Structure 1
């Protein structure tokens, strides 16, 4: 099967059903306090372990051309889910229905023999992914070219860095022509250019009709790649829906809003925290203090917050600007600005951030937060996503490419005669 310049070929099994169906999946692990307890249990047949439920009644489907992100804190069950789907582990109960070849890159070096060269490992690892010898021969040059390992391809894998192992593993997996591609945090390894190359290849695969299961802590990558996202918590599906909403539910979890004493506005994952100190209003104004929903690029603007406190508190106040795709464009807070802000009980305070609207034309949202440290992850009093919106209607004095304007100086190059 030949590939177009921009698309990755996806085998067609002729079925119109989902490529992957997960039904009531459960997985337990035995936890022993000491290694010797495992042997004692085998000899005496007396229970010396406790059960840890890594996955509890997980169900979802993944269709053609669909990309599903999986988010969750460490220990939420993400890696266990991927290993079950890839066949590395077997479920204790439930069912996994696979419609076509599923390949993935789960852990660096999985299936590689450190004594063999990278070239020899291509054949070995590709066969583990279900590729035939003819397929390997036909795609060898493309795999090696994508990996960009050069002369190192004939060196033993034990001499490779983690980034080189990831390059080779990804190159093999994406050329196996799967119907579903499973990838996790392995892509966090390697230089930025190769990560961008991998993400582009993943998007091309999705656009060609392939299904993607993408596990990452990189919220931006999930928003770029995925059309839907799951949030796992304690082995269960905490949320299943659009990536933006999934990201907010994920932020809820890492900020601890599932714990006692934290509140969430009814049916609204965009506003949460202890609410002991809370933001009651957000306004965008011009230099005259007038409400302004629209600015020209470079025009002065201000983010004004109204805050109420139940108790005396010293907190960090911050804001984050996102574009229409949900990508973080710019954010800061008073901790990063080295400003100290104190709030008094039963008082209303007003804060103001002034900045130039140095953003490309388009629509933006403003998220605001109150927390004790330089991040809302710890002791979040209030996080309010998309509390206000504004539009940059056009360029000011200086057009540019990208998302933000950065002042640039240029000096004419001097010419020197070359002998």
Structure 2
């Protein structure tokens, strides 16, 4: 595969001053009055033609800094970035726009700033305007735009500038679901045309759906790189460790999808249909998801949860005992079983189960064990009425003649 971007040993160090006076003193007295903050440290990766690369990390991990360096907004302290073709970046909303000008006028301004010629803009402006769905608002000053309207315009210009690489930093989190879905479809189409994409988002489902590969940053360093689901599991571990003041949490050496303190451990998860007596079930069939648990210590007030995911890793349904107000106290050297019994009202396909034991409502609090891909099952066939899509909602349908109509 052809490399479209090469990031080699990039480091970015900021000088932090207590005041502007210290900045002046450093200039004239030739003495350091600053502290150094390392935002990126020795970051190296390649981006290939037609690839979508995700970048994730907790706040302050250095994501925005590396994106700005790649886009050429700021310079790195050391290292090298080799760009093979035009790069267009959707970073902070409003960047590259003049709020006093109309949306129409800003298409030319922003398009020029990202490297488009007037001829290119002229040939694509109708497509840009149509994609925004802004209607007559395109001729209004941008100071009257909402953040969602600004995002529509920025994304439309970026996608029709036909860059070799498009950087999207949380832009799709602004605005309505309809336009976000439209943007996702447009990204997929451009990907099929060999456009490369760097995608940053806190929406883990969209990362699994869009990305071929994901990089995890922590404290400015690349700590993991690989398939989206694997890297996102490591990310979940890092989030859990934020509340791990006793440094008790770890990842199992033989299973990167398994982490926690392991004071309480999930030993097995299984799925069995009431009629099929197996993990191949029909949509609507009453099914038991069985979670076996072993406790090494006395651990009070805990939660057992499950998540059903589809073949793309998208979250389909999740719940836990906390939401059902079940108080669970584990005793040392005891074994337990937690059964979730329900009709599986979802469409045909392959699914996986993630299970977790923690306190409170999420794994962010005292995570004893998180086990991804703990079990799998297949939905094949439908009990009852035929349906299409992901969810079987079993509507009641009424059809009547309105009185007084001809």
**1:284 and 2:276 matched:** no
Give the root-mean-square deviation of aligned CA atoms.
1.8
Instruction: Give the aligned partner of residue 197 of structure 2.
Output: 212
**1:144 and 2:129 matched:** yes
**1:352 and 2:335 matched:** no
Deviation at 1:40, TM superposition (A): 3.8
Q: 1:57 to 1:399 in 2, by over 3 A?
A: same
Would you say the 8 A contact 1:257–1:272 is kept in 2? no
Would you say the 8 A contact 1:69–1:222 is kept in 2? yes
Distance 1:291 1:93 in 2: 61
Deviation at 1:381, TM superposition (A): 1.0
Structure 2 spans left out of the alignment, 5+ residues: none
Q: Secondary structure at the match of 1:380?
A: coil
Deviation at 1:45, TM superposition (A): 3.4
Instruction: Give the aligned partner of residue 120 of structure 2.
Output: 135
Q: Determine which of 374, 377, 385 is the counterpart of 1:390.
A: 377
Instruction: Give the aligned partner of residue 69 of structure 1.
Output: 54
TM alignment of 1:78-93, pairs within 5 A: 78-93=63-78
Q: Secondary structure at the match of 1:230?
A: strand
Deviation at 1:190, TM superposition (A): 0.6
Q: Secondary structure at the match of 1:124?
A: helix
Cα deviation code 1:192-236 (max 9, x no counterpart): 000000010001000011111111111111111111111111111
Deviation at 1:292, TM superposition (A): 2.2
**1:119 and 2:101 matched:** no
Q: Secondary structure at the match of 1:406?
A: coil
Distance 1:258 1:91 in 2: 32
Q: Secondary structure at the match of 2:85?
A: coil
Would you say the 8 A contact 2:248–2:261 is kept in 1? yes
Distance 1:402 1:64 in 2: 33
Q: Determine which of 390, 399, 404 is the counterpart of 1:403.
A: 390
Distance 1:416 1:183 in 2: 54
Distance 2:148 2:400 in 1: 37
Q: 1:33 to 1:380 in 2, by over 3 A?
A: farther
Instruction: Give the aligned partner of residue 3 of structure 1.
Output: none
Instruction: Give the aligned partner of residue 264 of structure 1.
Output: 251
Distance 1:140 1:417 in 2: 51
Cα deviation code 1:353-397 (max 9, x no counterpart): 111111211111111001111111222111000111111121111
TM (norm. structure 1) is: 0.92
Q: 1:76 to 1:367 in 2, by over 3 A?
A: same
Q: Determine which of 214, 236, 240 is the counterpart of 2:221.
A: 236
Distance 1:215 1:93 in 2: 23
Instruction: Give the aligned partner of residue 4 of structure 1.
Output: none
**1:328 and 2:315 matched:** yes
Would you say the 8 A contact 1:252–1:258 is kept in 2? no
Q: Determine which of 301, 306, 325 is the counterpart of 2:292.
A: 306
Q: 1:318 to 1:46 in 2, by over 3 A?
A: same
Q: Determine which of 355, 362, 369 is the counterpart of 1:375.
A: 362
**1:187 and 2:181 matched:** no
Deviation at 1:416, TM superposition (A): 5.2
Q: Secondary structure at the match of 2:209?
A: helix
Instruction: Give the aligned partner of residue 97 of structure 1.
Output: 82
Would you say the 8 A contact 1:329–1:404 is kept in 2? no
Deviation at 1:165, TM superposition (A): 0.5
Distance 1:413 1:240 in 2: 58
Distance 1:189 1:413 in 2: 42
Q: Determine which of 227, 231, 239 is the counterpart of 2:212.
A: 227
Q: How many residue pairs are counted as aligned between the two chains?
A: 403
Distance 1:17 1:287 in 2: 51
Distance 2:50 2:322 in 1: 43
Cα deviation code 1:288-341 (max 9, x no counterpart): 9x9622111111111112222212321111000111111111110011222221
Distance 1:169 1:301 in 2: 47
Deviation at 1:39, TM superposition (A): 3.8
Deviation at 1:417, TM superposition (A): 5.1
Distance 2:398 2:69 in 1: 58
Instruction: Give the aligned partner of residue 402 of structure 2.
Output: 415
Instruction: Give the aligned partner of residue 295 of structure 1.
Output: 281
TM (norm. structure 2) is: 0.95
Deviation at 1:418, TM superposition (A): 6.3
Distance 2:22 2:388 in 1: 62
